[in-house]
């Protein structure tokens, strides 16, 4: 059986790590194109100035528009060419990070997440959008980023909601990897060079990836609440550091090399629910994970463990928690139809997928979450 595992070349995490950014730029040359929201750059400008001076490098600010479109990434590639920059830096949240991946095309790329809200920083894939913000396409590159650098002081000063959303995204990692492992399904690690066109055969996940995914879930249970409390105080503790690593590294490697299944597909289906539009990716993925567990008839003890964790850190347990106060069966079917399109990851589940079963699981997960909340209040 063919298996695949893909990793960034180097992952570095610690307090004041931004002060070492210039060193990593210097391993490629003397300048870098910086792709970031201007507000994110302003927040860490003292660290950027200090590291540039210490290591004799310069940062060329690209003026990122905020959306990962084909036009914007081509413009940024032209800036890099005209300025003769030696590497690309993606700094900030998911959009800037994805834009930098597209601009770098898998070469000489440094990723600097300033929040731990999702698991994209380590991956070799990006999402492209149209000018109106609608989905365009996925892009895959020949390798993961050269360096992923995380300053835990910066993450601790970001709003706690981002860290909690990252835990929601990380929550799905083990359960989706387990399903993918049980079904011997293809993982994203097998998709770098033309494989979408069938030029290379698919590969399933490694035991190493499954082990990292399981560790991800263990860390969330052990340190999720304490990390949230530390972030509320804008302070770095060992619990916060462990959850930052969990949200970014373990979840990133777990989803890409361990596999996605129903949770992320159901999340994508939930885009048809207008009330949920203002909620973060990881917040919706957390509820979608609960739905996956209903779909696979998980044991009551496991369901309770998941809901105990979600409640402890404040993740949504019901659709109402996501701005959807009422859902009809027809609306649940619309969610399920999108989740079940042929190319979706839900088909990595180790049993046949039926649209009606997914709609049923969505409604029942909502009621189970509400029953849990009622029980906790009494």
55 lies in the same domain as 68: yes
Q: Determine which helix (DSSP H) or strand (DSSP E) holds 336, and give its type and residue range.
A: helix 329-339
Regarding whether 52 and 195 lie in a shared domain, the answer is no
Which of 110, 127, 157 corresponds to the end of one domain?
157
Active site residue 181: no
Which pLDDT score, from 0 to 100, does residue 194 have? 44
Q: Does residue 376 register a pLDDT over 70? A: yes
Please check whether residue 262 is in contact with residue 272, taking contact to mean a CB–CB distance below 8 angstroms.
no
pLDDT tens digits, residue range 291-344? 999 999 999 999 999 999 999 999 999 999 999 999 999 999 999 999 999 999
* pLDDT of the residue at 238: 98
Residue 192: per-residue pLDDT: 58
Q: Are 223 and 126 in the same domain?
A: no
Consecutive H or E run containing 151: strand 147-151
Domain range for 348 is 161-377
Whether pLDDT at 196 is above 70: no
- What average pLDDT does range 27-44 have in this prediction? 96
Same domain, 166 and 143: no
End-to-end CA distance of the chain: 51
What separation in angstroms does the CA of 237 have from each of 205, 226, 357? 33, 9, 43
Other beta carbons less than 10 A from residue 207's beta carbon = 11
Token pair for 255: 């989803």
One domain for residues 282 and 349: yes
151, 281, 321, 366: the active-site residue: 281
Please tell me whether residues 195 and 118 are part of one structural domain.
no
Q: pLDDT at position 195, please?
A: 43
Of the candidates 281, 291, 323, which has an alpha carbon nearest to the alpha carbon of residue 166?
Answer: 281
Residue-level pLDDT at 197? 47
Collapsed DSSP state (helix, strand, coil) of residue 347: helix
- Annotation: binding site for NAD(+): 94-98, 123, 129
> Any catalytic annotation for residue 169?
yes
pLDDT average, residue stretch 117-141? 89
d(CA 289, CA 294): 9
The CATH number linked to 44 is 3.40.50.1970
284 and 151 co-located in one domain: no
Collapsed DSSP state (helix, strand, coil) of residue 309: helix
> For position 270, what pLDDT does the model report?
94
- pLDDT value of residue 116: 98
What's the burial of 375, exposed, middle or buried (CB within 10 Å: 0-12/13-18/19+)?
Answer: exposed
pLDDT tens-digit series, residues 215-270: 999 999 999 999 999 999 999 999 999 999 999 999 999 999 999 999 999 999 99
| Residues 12 and 146 occupy one common structural domain | yes
Q: Is 142 left (phi over 0), alpha (psi -120 to 50) or beta?
A: alpha
Q: Which of 123, 157, 191 is the last residue of a domain?
A: 157
Among the listed residues 86, 151, 264, 321, the single catalytic one is 264
Residue numbering of the annotated binding site: 94-98, 119, 123, 129, 169, 264, 281
Mean pLDDT, all residues of the chain: 95
What's the pLDDT at 199? 58
**pLDDT at 200 > cutoff 80:** no
Give me the catalytic one of 169, 223, 321, 366.
Answer: 169
Residues 99 and 81 in one domain: yes
pLDDT of residue 134 exceeding 80:
no
* Rounded Cα distance, 120 and 104, in Å: 15
- Domain holding 249: CATH number? 1.20.1090.10
Of 124, 181, 267, 321, the active-site residue reads: 267
Tokens (6 digits) for 298: 């998980």
Cα–Cα dist 61/214, whole Å: 39
Give me the pLDDT at residue 14, please.
Answer: 98
Question: Would you state the pLDDT for residue 202?
Answer: 86
Tell whether 152 and 263 lie within a shared domain.
no
The count of structural domains within the chain is 2
118 and 258 fall within a common domain: no
Give burial (CB, 10 Å; 0-12/13-18/19+) of 328: exposed
Whether residues 8 and 122 share a domain: the answer is yes
Burial level of 1, CB count in 10 A (0-12/13-18/19+)?
Answer: exposed
The answer, yes or no, to whether residue 133 has pLDDT greater than 80, is: no
225-238 burial, b if ≥16 CB within 10 A, otherwise e? Answer: bbbbebbeeeebbe
The answer to whether residues 89 and 52 touch, using CB atoms and an 8 Å cutoff, is no
The answer to whether residue 264 is catalytic is yes
Q: Which residue has the higher pLDDT, 135 or 210?
A: 210
Query: Could you count the other beta carbons within 10 Å of the beta carbon of residue 164?
Result: 25
Pairing assessment for the beta strands 31-35 and 135-140 based on DSSP bridges: unpaired
Q: Would you say residue 97 has pLDDT above 90?
A: yes
For the entire predicted model, the pTM comes to: 0.95
- DSSP letter (8 states) at residue 35: E
DSSP code per residue over 235-285:
---HHHHHHHHIIIIIHHHHHHHH---HHHHHHHHGGG-GGGTTS-HHHHH
Residue 60, C-beta contacts closer than 8 angstroms, at least 6 positions apart: 31, 32, 33, 34, 79, 80, 83, 85
Domain stops at, among 157, 173, 208:
157
Catalytic (active site) residue 281: yes
């Amino acid at each position: 059986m063919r298996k695949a595992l893909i990793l960034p070349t180097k992952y570095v995490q610690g307090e004041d790590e931004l002060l070492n950014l210039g060193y990593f730029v210097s391993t490629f040359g003397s300048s870098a194109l910086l792709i970031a929201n201007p507000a994110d750059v302003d927040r860490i400008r003292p660290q950027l100035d200090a590291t540039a001076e210490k290591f004799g490098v310069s940062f060329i600010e690209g003026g990122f528009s905020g959306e990962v479109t084909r036009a914007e990434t081509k413009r940024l590639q032209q800036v890099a060419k005209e300025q003769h920059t030696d590497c690309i830096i993606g700094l900030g949240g998911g959009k800037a990070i994805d834009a930098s991946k597209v601009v770098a095309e898998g070469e000489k790329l440094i990723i600097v997440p300033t929040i731990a809200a999702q698991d994209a920083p380590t991956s070799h894939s990006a999402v492209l959008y149209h000018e109106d913000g609608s989905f365009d396409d996925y892009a895959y590159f020949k390798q993961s980023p050269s360096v992923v650098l995380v300053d835990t002081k910066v993450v601790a000063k970001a709003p706690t909601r981002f860290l909690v959303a990252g835990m929601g995204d990380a929550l799905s990692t083990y359960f989706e990897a387990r399903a993918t492992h049980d079904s011997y399904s293809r993982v994203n690690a097998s998709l770098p060079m033309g494989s979408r066109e069938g030029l290379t055969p698919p590969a399933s996940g490694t035991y190493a990836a499954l082990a990292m995914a399981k560790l991800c879930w263990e860390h969330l249970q052990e340190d999720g609440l304490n990390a949230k409390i530390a972030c509320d105080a804008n302070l770095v503790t060992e619990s916060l550091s462990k959850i930052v690593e969990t949200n970014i590294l373990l979840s990133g490697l777990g989803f890409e090399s361990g596999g996605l299944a129903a949770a992320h597909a159901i999340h994508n289906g939930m885009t048809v629910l207008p009330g949920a539009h203002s909620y973060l990716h990881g917040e919706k993925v957390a509820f979608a994970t609960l739905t996956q567990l209903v779909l696979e008839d998980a044991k009551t003890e496991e369901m309770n463990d998941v809901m105990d964790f979600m409640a402890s850190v404040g993740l949504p347990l019901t659709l109402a928690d996501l701005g959807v106060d009422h859902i009809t069966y027809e609306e649940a079917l619309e969610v399920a139809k999108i989740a079940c399109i042929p190319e979706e990851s839900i088909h990595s589940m180790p049993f046949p997928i039926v649209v009606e079963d997914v709609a049923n699981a969505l409604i029942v997960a909502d009621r189970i979450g509400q029953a849990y909340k009622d029980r906790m209040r009494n």
